[in-house]
Amino acid sequence: MNGRRTYLDHNATSPLRPEARAAAVSALDAIAGNPSSVHDEGRRARAIVETAREQVASLVNARPLEVVFTSGATEANAWVLGGGWNTIFRGGFEHDSVLAPAAASGARMIDVPVGTDGVARVETIAQHVFTGSGDFGRSLVALQLANNETGVIQPVAETAAFAVAHGLSCHTDAVQAAGRIRIDFNELGVDTLSLSAHKLGGLSGMGALIIRDGTRLASFLVGGGQERRRRAGTENVIGIAAFGAAAVAATRDVATAGRLSALRGRLERGVAAITPTAIIVGAEAPRLPNTSSVALPGGAAETLVIKFDLAGIAVSAGAACSSGKVGVSHVLTAMGLDQDIARGAIRVSLGWNTSEADVDAFLTAWHEMSMARVRAVA
Ligand code: PLP
């Protein structure tokens, strides 16, 4: 290892962008007051918050008044999923921050199946609504915009159109899609959409729930009247300032997403040339330009991740997980992939600071590992 690290785990956390860092530092220097105070110090803090609100709104083409700042996407998802639903439609491929509050909510749970291509079979929602038993009043469809492990993009606009036409609410977790593909809150037609700042190159512990004006959703926290009485607590002005700047930079990057898909193409072609048996999970479906789920049948993803780490390269085995547990990804399991494939899948995710040299460093390490495997078998 030459001391230089190659970071290819942007779906876990994207490193802080220089623009976000500068905004955080400048907010640190500038704020001396509470954004709710009427004096000059308070008004200056308020101006930082409201500028960032406009910047985050414009990332997803929402209105600033629809943006509610939260402590992250986990909070935003928990807020919506805990909204007192009778029935929740959700797929087993959703992030744990959707699955866990859904399970804890006491609502009737209806599974939206997913194909081996990673795309949700959303027609089952209509089948349930038209033929299923029970009351579909106050029901929610939760469908992520793109998957954090495979990058597969889900048919959210079509699903939301059906849901809204039949009186169901629709939520999308857009954490991984934001800054990687164009998002238009109005075109998607969902009622709520969650975002996370650290996936965009902002600070962690910061996110937003975009709530369509007029949507019925109880306040997440009551107390002070912050965030138009929807989420009480003095705002995290530093995190919000960095989120706004990251959103501006990410909006710009969406326009040049071809750069990322070219790098990802280089990576996947290189992998196929070195190990023709490798499988790119979800390759046949529409995908984010930055994510590659590379599975080596018979391999052990955790071992590969450690070997890459020792070679100076950060990738991950499925979703990053705080408990450090070793297990097969619930996303790949929900897709019905062979356990032999699912166990050997690593996630490589590129981002704003990824270069060709990073991709080549990955391929060099992949080549060395595959040669070592060949030697071990011989
Ligand atoms: N949703 C998805 C799809 C994610 O990938 C993540 C983070 O891993 C989250 C939600 C949670 O975001 P946060 O870390 O801001 O709570």
What pLDDT sits at residue 325?
55
Catalytic position from the list 164, 257, 319, 321: 321
DSSP 152-178: BBP-HHHHHHHHHHTT-EEEEE-TTTB
Q: What spacing in Å lies between the alpha carbon of 74 and ligand 1's midpoint? A: 6
Q: Does residue 117 contact residue 285 with C-beta atoms inside 8 Å?
A: yes
For residues 175 and 194, the answer to whether their CB atoms sit within 8 Å is yes
Consecutive 10-residue runs of the chain (378 residues): their mean pLDDT? 84 98 95 92 96 98 98 98 96 97 96 97 91 81 98 98 95 98 98 98 98 94 93 96 98 92 98 96 97 92 95 84 65 93 95 97 96 78
CA distance 166 to 138: 11
> What's the CA gap between 193 and 106, in Å, rounded?
22
For residue 293 and ligand 1, the question of a CB distance below 6 A is answered with: no
Q: Is 321 a catalytic residue?
A: yes
Instruction: Report the atom number in ligand 1 closest to the C-alpha of 197.
Output: 15
Predicted local distance difference test score (pLDDT) of residue 136: 77
Mutate to test the pocket of ligand 1, among 148, 154, 172 (most ligand atoms within 8 A of CB): 148
Atom 10 of ligand 1 has which residue's CA nearest to it? 73
What pLDDT is stored for residue 321 in this prediction? 47
Is 173 within 8 Å of 95 (Cβ atoms)? Answer: yes
